Amino acid sequence: MAKEKLSLLKYFKGIEVANYLPLFILLCFSGNPLITEMGYSKTLLVIYTLVFIIYIFSFVNYKYIKIKLQQVLIVGLFISILIIYQEILLGFVSFPGVFAMILKILLGIFTLIFYRVKQIGFMYSYIKIISFLSLISLPFFVMNQFGQWGIQLENEVLKSFIIYTSYPKEIYTVSFLIRNPGMFWEPGAFAGYLLLGLIFIVLKNRSFTIGQYQKEVIWIILGIITSQSTTGYLLLTLLTFLFIWNKYSWSRIYVVPLSVLLIYWVSNNIAFMGDKVEDQYTQATAMGKNDISNSRFGSFNMDMQYIISQPFTGNGLDFSTRYRFHPGVTEDIGNGNGMSNFLACWGIPFFLFWLYCVYRVTYIITQKKSISYFHLIMLILILQGEQFLNYPMFLIFISMPGFYSNFSFRDSIVE
């Protein structure tokens, strides 16, 4: 036991492992099905958020908390205005859904407060945690090839080890291998969170370099490879060429054409990627107005009706308003496009505000427009596959500019 503890401390460079717990729990509330897809999930979110807030108040100066909450007050006002207009225009608002959204934003704010007060880098902690989750997912990934193990979840096809979600052979199998979902609800979600780890490495180094994170990058890449995610592969390819472009000046002559050729080759010659994209696109183009789809292209096509209908206020979270043009939808259909779903629920202005926050915090940290735009584009592409904006880890970008507004290069010791 002592050796195990020592190895963990070594991996996390001597910082108390307990200090990583708030961010790990935030990630659990960001798509671990044992936490987010059970009958007790909403109650658990309420209880944990309130307990965590009380804990933060127990050792953090009230004035500091008040300042940080005031910095994101605009978010609360914005949501309040949206609720009022949704009530007027649609006649109904899902107040439990709105309350859950506010709780997730608050959970992100107080997690940032924790790491700022403890003087532990939030992005540094994320990189360490997500790479460690990738590392420990690998033996479970191998075990999953021979059977399904763990706690049976309410979703009958899922079992969980808490730190790993186990699938049966019939689900998420490519060729003869079950894909690696890590501890999340789906392999594509795991790939998205792993890609975010690589993006944070870029932000911390303020350039497309690996720096001190060679070990973490290896585990993250192995996680993306075993996830067998289409989006993960394409964006990993893009990131790889950007790292090469930055490190070797001679490579710039070749990188752009090679990137285009490789992405084209990958998408067309790896069977599960090419067939998947082609099938989804063909089905989406053949959809009628009343057709229902949960693929990324089909969902976007379906969501456009709702975005056009309510571009500024969104259609809300309740099924009766969110899917009012498709009355047959009475439960979660697993919308395959996180960006279009958020636009359909909350409207274009709220999404643009989220994009502004992403750009703002990136520019404050790096002082480079090129990396800021890159970060923006990467996150938009990641959103095309999964519902990340339903979870606090991606919603946390709304709060981050207020914590980095006084950021300086001296703070890089922490961040």
Mean pLDDT of the chain: 85
Domain count for the chain: 3
- 15/145 same-domain check: yes
- 23/125 same-domain check: yes
Predicted TM-score (pTM) of the model is 0.88
Domain boundary among 345, 366, 394: 345
Q: In this structure, are residues 162 and 34 in contact, taking their beta carbons and an 8 Å threshold? A: yes
- 94/124 same-domain check: yes
Domain that holds residue 312: 278-345
- 159/54 same-domain check: yes
- 142/64 same-domain check: yes
- 222/358 same-domain check: yes
Q: How confident is the model at residue 400 (pLDDT cuts 50, 70, 90)?
A: very high
Q: State both tokens at 56.
A: 């933060």
Domain boundary among 345, 367, 399: 345
What local confidence, expressed as pLDDT, does residue 332 receive?
75
Kindly report, residue by residue over 250-260, the tens digit of the pLDDT.
Answer: 555 555 566 56
- 103/135 same-domain check: yes
- 409/315 same-domain check: no
Kindly report, residue by residue over 202-222, the tens digit of the pLDDT.
Answer: 999 999 888 899 999 999 999
